[in-house]
Structure formats: C-alpha cells, structure tokens
Amino acid sequence: MSELTTIARPYAKAAFEYAVEQQAVDSWLAMITFAAEVSTNEVMQALVNSPAAGPRLSELFIQICGEQLNEQGQNFIKVMAENGRLSVLPAVLAEFVALKSEWEKQLEAYVRSASALSQAEQDKIRTSLEQRYGCTVKLHCSVDPTLIAGLVIKAGDEVIDATVRSKLNRLAEALQS
C-alpha cells in the first residue's frame, strides 16, 4: 500500500496544484474519480497490466472516458499511461482527496461508538475536534457492538481511544506499577 502511495503522490500533487491554479479543483476531482473508476474495471485492469498495451492504451482509455475528461485531463492520462501508471489511479484519487481536504482545511474523523450517537453528541464531538485541530471536521459515525462503552475517534493520523476497555487497561497498568 505504501508503495502505491509513493507512486501516486507526485501525480496527485501535480494534478492538484494545476487544479488550484486553474480554479478547477472540483472538476479535476470529478475527472480523476471517473478515471479511477474506469481503471478498476476488470477488462481495463487486464489491459492496463498487459505489457502489450503500449501507446494505444492511453487512446483507448481516453475514448472510454469520453467527455468526462477535458483536454488537460486527457494529457494527465497520457502521461500516466506513458509511465505505466494507470493502475494507480485509485491511489491518485485518494491522495487528491486528501490534498483537497487539507487545502479546504477540512478533516474527516471516523467515530466508532458502542451505541448510536445523538445529533447533540455528534455536534459536541465535532465542536471539540474543530477546536483541537483548528479546521472544519466532517464526522463519519458508526456503531461497533464489540465496544463495551465509549468511543474511538480516528482523525487524520491520530486515534483517540475513549472506550471503557482502554480506561480499565490504563487503570490496571497504573495499579501494577
């Protein structure tokens, strides 16, 4: 996975910087999303991974995408095809989305809780995270029945474990030392 990220990052960064410069971030996001979806098709994956694909691959890929790609988007696909990197388009999309969120000062936080959270509880968590990180937070909440009580929040690279199990473990460690 990290190898894909390493390969995808320069492409995503170049596309994102160009999109910001042209004030077309949303249209670039739509183009890359569509191209990534095309690249995950079984038939297209076989062509992309085939050593015999050659220079016609970019033409075929652009024909399939049709009007979903503007001229610059087509050039982006040609460059990726020339370098044999069309298979990493989904990773390019993930990197592009991350760059967009950072640029918009938006953080996506994933909250797992033992029971469903009320809207008031979600608002309180969102407000707390926005104060902590200094940006807009978008919450993705899910229920995890394996948790005894409490919740786990994953925001960016940080994980906040506020479950009863983790509190009991910390208490046990403190008592043993």
Q: Convert the pLDDT of each residue in 99-145 to its tens digit.
A: 888 787 778 889 999 889 899 999 999 999 888 888 888 888 999 88
Residue 54 pLDDT > 70: no
- d(CA 117, CA 89) in angstroms, rounded, equals 35
| 32-53 pLDDT per residue, tens | 898 888 888 887 777 777 765 6
Average pLDDT over residues 146-158: 85
Q: Which helix (H) or strand (E) holds 90?
A: helix 89-103
**Cβ neighbours of residue 143 under 8 Å, at least 6 residues apart?**
112, 113, 114, 115, 116
| pTM assigned to the model | 0.62
Pick the CATH number of 2-102 from 1.10.533.10, 1.10.520.20, 3.40.50.300, 1.10.10.60: 1.10.520.20
User: Which CATH number is associated with domain 105-176?
Assistant: 3.40.30
The pLDDT value recorded for residue 81 is 81
- Output helix, strand, coil percentages for the chain, rounded to the nearest 5: 65, 15, 20
Whether 129 contacts 154, CB under 8 Å:
no
Q: Is the dihedral angle over the CA atoms 137, 139, 15, 12 positive or is it negative?
A: positive
The pLDDT value recorded for residue 123 is 93
